[in-house]
Amino acid sequence: MRQSRAIDVSTGLFVLLGLVAIVFLVTQISNREFSLTETSFRLKAQYENIGGLKVGAPVKMAGVTIGRVEDISYDMKLLKAIVTMRIDKRYNEIPNDSDASIFTAGLLGGQYIGVSPGGSEEYFKDGDQFQFVQDAIVLENLISKYLFSQADKAAADKNSSAGASATAEPAPAPKE
Amino acid sequence: MALLRELVAGMRDFLANAGAMSRFFARVLVISPSGFLRPRLIVDQVYNAGALSLAIIMTSGLFVGMVMGLQGHDLLARIGSEESLGIGAALTLLKELGPVVTALLFAGRAGTALASEIGLMRATDQLSAMEIMAVDPMRRVVLPRFLGGVISMPLLVAIFVAISIYGVQLIGVQYFGIDQGQFWSEMRSSVEIEDVREGLIKGFVFGVACSLIAVYEGYNADPTAEGVGRATTRTVVISAVSTLVLDYIVTAILL
């Protein structure tokens, strides 16, 4: 009887340790956050283009992560992307005229939402929507814009100096 | 010619063995619900397979983690992104190293104990004695040991991974001075719940395989001292190989 109780205690200890380890892995290592009380509130923003923004991307204010992107969907009526963010309850005094822009961390890094505070006296409440947003900068658009502007410039140069000798300016012509 | 004949005979042996083990597995599965009618026996086996393996699992886990910390830091320092140590180590440990190393240790620690125990029962006619007393040794001896191993393995995997991540943290943060917050937040932001699930599923699969092989080899051991020894050896060898093969299959399915 005594021996069997010792076995029970160490078996129980082992099972408990295993469960604690699983809970540790699920809550501390992975990005799933569990809490019994609601410790966050939601904000929404509409974008024309979110670039490579992903669910789980950080929402930052002055570089401090204050929340995460919870959901990204496309609204067929507005023809815009709806991004839902979950913001930590601690940061519940964000002026309601703040703007939310999509930035890229580093040259090839992931994208995040940067919130820069406005000057309003009133704060965002749960479910509010950002009035001022700025879309993601898509590298391809930027490059094509640059190339086309160069091409336009080259064409303009050619027109203005028609007849005159070539100025040997190596304007990068767009391919095709 | 003789070589060819030997090869064919070896193949036949292998097939016969695989078939017998499948039938054995089916039998265990069929009676496995009845095992929970006597939880006492299972608890004893969880103690034997799990609680007694705790020391070796935790020690190995700590050192595997610390080695990952050293090697990972060396590797990442060459490409200048030491902060990613947490991600790399956590994913490697959760998805591959944790389940596989735990299964190998489990086969060595618990599998051999199971095989030799049951084999010795066979050699000393205890199993026959049970049959004479109308006690089914499959239910009384094999099943609780199998279930105990299956229950223990995922828990051992979780403990192993948790301890080894602590070991990585010990080297990365305490020794090399990677920022603590960055280490944890980068790890948390890129490890998904699916990765944890993958590790636990692997733990379960390896648990079934290693426990099954151990009880099968013990149950079918030659009733001699030599036979028990051979059964123990075969348990380790077959468990190790099938763990690695199953690891590939499970990874291919889950990815």
- B34: pLDDT confidence band, cut at 50, 70 and 90? confident
Domain boundaries, chain B: 38-254
Question: At which residue do the structure tokens 């060595």 appear?
Answer: B108
Task: Note whether A13 contacts B51, CB cutoff 8 Å.
Answer: yes
Per-residue pLDDT of chain A (176 residues; tens, 9 = 90+): 556 678 888 888 899 999 999 888 888 777 655 554 567 788 899 998 888 888 778 888 888 888 888 888 998 998 999 999 888 877 888 888 888 888 887 666 678 889 988 888 888 888 888 888 888 877 788 888 888 888 888 888 888 776 555 445 555 555 55
> Tens digits of per-residue pLDDT, B96-112?
999 999 999 999 999 99
pTM exceeds cut of 0.80: no
The pLDDT of residue B117: 94
> Tens digits of per-residue pLDDT, B74-98?
998 888 777 788 888 999 999 999 9
Question: At which residue do the structure tokens 């290693």 appear?
Answer: B210
Contact A87, A142 (CB under 8 A): no
Give the Cα separation of B198 and B205 in Å (integer).
Answer: 11
B178-206: average pLDDT: 85
**A164 reaches B (C-beta below 8 A):** no
**A109 reaches B (C-beta below 8 A):** no
Task: Note whether B193 contacts A10, CB cutoff 8 Å.
Answer: no
On the question of pLDDT at B141 being above 80, the answer is yes
Residues of B whose CB is below 8 A from A66: none
The dihedral through the CA atoms of A121, A127, A133, A136 has a sign that is positive
Residues of A whose CB is below 8 A from B165: 29
Give the Cα separation of B207 and B107 in Å (integer).
Answer: 9
Under 8 Å CB pairs connecting chains A and B tally to 83
The pLDDT of residue A3: 63
- Residue A99's DSSP bridge partners are A116, A132
B219-223: average pLDDT: 92
DSSP string over B51-80 = GGGHHHHHHHHHHHHHHHHHHHHHHHHHTT
* Distance of residue B138 Cα from the nearest chain A Cα, in angstroms: 23
Name the nearest CA neighbour of B171 among B32, B79, B64, B39: B64
Interface predicted TM-score (ipTM) of this complex, two decimals = 0.81
Domain boundaries, chain A: 1-34, 40-139
- The residue that leads in pLDDT, B106 or B189, is B106
Give the Cα separation of B171 and B92 in Å (integer).
Answer: 16
On the question of pLDDT at B195 being above 60, the answer is yes
The pLDDT of residue B190: 78
- The residue that leads in pLDDT, B131 or A138, is B131
Name the A residues in 25-64 with CB < 8 Å from any B CB. Answer: 25-26, 28-32, 56, 58
- B206: pLDDT confidence band, cut at 50, 70 and 90? very high
> Tens digits of per-residue pLDDT, B242-254?
999 999 999 999 8
Give the Cα separation of B134 and B22 in Å (integer).
Answer: 25
On the question of pLDDT at B116 being above 80, the answer is yes
On the question of pLDDT at B24 being above 90, the answer is yes
Task: Note whether B196 contacts A28, CB cutoff 8 Å.
Answer: no
